Amino acid sequence: MRVPLTSQQVRGTKPTAKRQEIRDYGGDNLYLVVQPHTGEKSFVMRLMVDGKQRKKTLGHFPAMSLADAREQAREVKVALRRGDTLPSPLRSPTNATAAPGSGTVSEGWGLYWHHEGSSRRSASEKKRIFQRDVEPQIGSKPLNEVTRSDLAKLISGKFETAKTASNRLHSLLARFFKWCATHGQPLTGLESNPMASVVKMHSERDTARRRYFTQEEIGWWFKALYAAGDYRAVHELLMRTLCRFSDILNLTWGEVVQRENGDWVLEIGRTKNSDPHVAYLHPSALKLLPKRPATAKPEDRVFKVRSRSGKPVERIRAAMQKLAEKEERVVPHWILHDYRRTGTTHLAGMTDDDDNPLVPDHILDRLLGSGLIDHSQKMTAAAMAIADMKVWAQRS
């Protein structure tokens, strides 16, 4: 029986060893294409133009929904009946239309925000950066007239006043224009990405990004945690779970879940890479959470602190250095990301009596948020080693 595709079917279709083309019998020659192995999904039309079969890619899922794909397919079919060329209209979320590429940067941002940007974990911060640093400068400029020089000027101007913030601006612009020229291209009409060759101006201490704490430094770090003040529990939970800072800072009570067998986990639905992640909570990590208020709602935040300020890190660094100076040592510069590197580096080096790794690579990947921690793996050496980090640091 030939039936229309459903949104649930689009989401649930898994990749196979071969490329799949699944026809939507509720659309106008519309197909869902699923790439082998990677599972990348896109919507395409099979058309007859001038007696020849043509294929037109309308967009990629989930940036384009099934409903949007059907609407695009209808517009293409109507345009062909009128004798027009294959259109690539710039449409706003309210379905207003414009000529390809004629929309402004602000209108393009509205499309990006509607289809992808608002779903990201750090969406509010990205929106704030756009409204502060981008919209006043080039918001009214047509999207297809933005040049590499325009964007480089924005970033260099930010670099003069805030070096690290210039990298955040670069990341936002890179993601936004990449979406406009790829997944969002059927909506924006942007044919090329002007950010493709614009480089970051600030290195952010690239050497520090290769840093991890030695066992001795971990001992100093635990003793220096008092300097983080109200952020102390947040930082210790970061080290014990290897979650990203934004995932813990923005943690909600609805994401703290007790399983039927009594295990406590963090079910983080939206991570930096947009994938769900489950982190097992060892009792030593669970006790870092404040007591849940009786009136707390699932969407309420666990921690009262909300700022992404770097002051707590600076204070921990300073306190660690004081401890190190007592032993005539120096603590090299480190950054927040080094918590994750510290955990994975030490875990990767742990072996059993036969020199076999206690923590396989695929478990390390899952700990970093590349997938779900399998229920049967909750008490692996990886989870226990992180939970007992304070203990084996003191033994060194």
Residue 273's pLDDT band, with cuts at 50, 70 and 90, is low
Which pLDDT score, from 0 to 100, does residue 371 have? 52
Higher pLDDT, 2 or 35: 35
Which pLDDT score, from 0 to 100, does residue 288 have? 93
Mean pLDDT calculated for residue range 229-256? 91
pTM listed for this prediction:
0.49
User: Does 370 score more than 60 pLDDT?
Assistant: no
Cβ atoms within 10 A of the Cβ of 252, count? 16
Right CATH number for 7-87 from 3.30.160.390, 1.10.357.10, 3.40.50.10800, 3.40.190.10?
A: 3.30.160.390
**Residue spans per domain, the chain:** 7-87, 105-188, 208-395
For 46-61, how does the pLDDT look when each residue is reduced to its tens digit (9 = 90+)?
876 666 667 778 888 8
User: Does 82 score more than 70 pLDDT?
Assistant: no
> How far, in Å, CA of 32 to CA of 34, rounded?
7
Max CA distance (Å), the chain: 83
- DSSP string computed for 318-380: HHHHHHHHTTT-------TTHHHHHHHHHHHT-B-TTS-BSS-HHHHHHHTTSSBPPGGGTTS
Hunting for tokens 């196979």 — which residue is that?
A: 16
Mean pLDDT calculated for residue range 250-256? 91
Name the CATH topology of 105-188: DNA polymerase; domain 1 (1.10.150)
Tokens, residue 154: 């924005």
Mean pLDDT calculated for residue range 70-77? 80
Residue 5 near residue 26 (C-beta atoms within 8 A): yes
Higher pLDDT, 90 or 272: 272
> How far, in Å, CA of 310 to CA of 313, rounded?
5
User: Does 255 score more than 60 pLDDT?
Assistant: yes
Q: Who contacts 185 (Cβ-Cβ below 8 Å, separation ≥6)?
A: 59, 88, 191
Domain 208-395 is of which CATH architecture?
Orthogonal Bundle (1.10)
CA angle 183, 186, 189 (to 5 degrees): 105
> How far, in Å, CA of 225 to CA of 236, rounded?
8
As a whole number of Å, the CA-based R_g of the chain is 25
Q: For the chain, what is the mean pLDDT?
A: 79
Which pLDDT score, from 0 to 100, does residue 15 have? 87
Mean pLDDT calculated for residue range 54-80? 79
Residue 101's pLDDT band, with cuts at 50, 70 and 90, is very low
User: Does 357 score more than 50 pLDDT?
Assistant: yes
Which pLDDT score, from 0 to 100, does residue 98 have? 40
Higher pLDDT, 10 or 261: 10
Which pLDDT score, from 0 to 100, does residue 275 have? 60
> How far, in Å, CA of 159 to CA of 170, rounded?
10
Hunting for tokens 């890190």 — which residue is that?
A: 313
Tokens, residue 69: 């794909």
Q: How many CA atoms lie within 13 A of 373 on its CB side?
A: 26
Amino acid at 184: G
Tokens, residue 266: 């963090």
Tokens, residue 67: 């409903």
Higher pLDDT, 75 or 323: 323
Give strand pairing partners of 91.
Answer: 97
Higher pLDDT, 59 or 275: 59
Tokens, residue 313: 């890190």
Tokens, residue 336: 């927040």
CA angle 114, 118, 121 (to 5 degrees): 160
User: Does 144 score more than 80 pLDDT?
Assistant: yes
Cβ atoms within 10 A of the Cβ of 129, count? 19
Residue 95's pLDDT band, with cuts at 50, 70 and 90, is very low
User: Does 378 score more than 80 pLDDT?
Assistant: no
Which pLDDT score, from 0 to 100, does residue 52 have? 66
Q: Determine which of 80-94, 162-176, 270-284, 356-370 has the lowest per-residue pLDDT on average.
A: 80-94
Q: Where are the beta strands (DSSP E) in the chain?
A: 20-24, 30-34, 41-49, 52-61, 90-91, 97-98, 256-258, 264-268, 277-280
Task: Identify the helix (H) or strand (E) that includes residue 68.
Answer: helix 66-82
Tokens, residue 291: 């007591």
Q: Determine which of 190-199, 218-227, 235-244 has the lowest per-residue pLDDT on average.
A: 190-199
Residue 324 near residue 330 (C-beta atoms within 8 A): yes
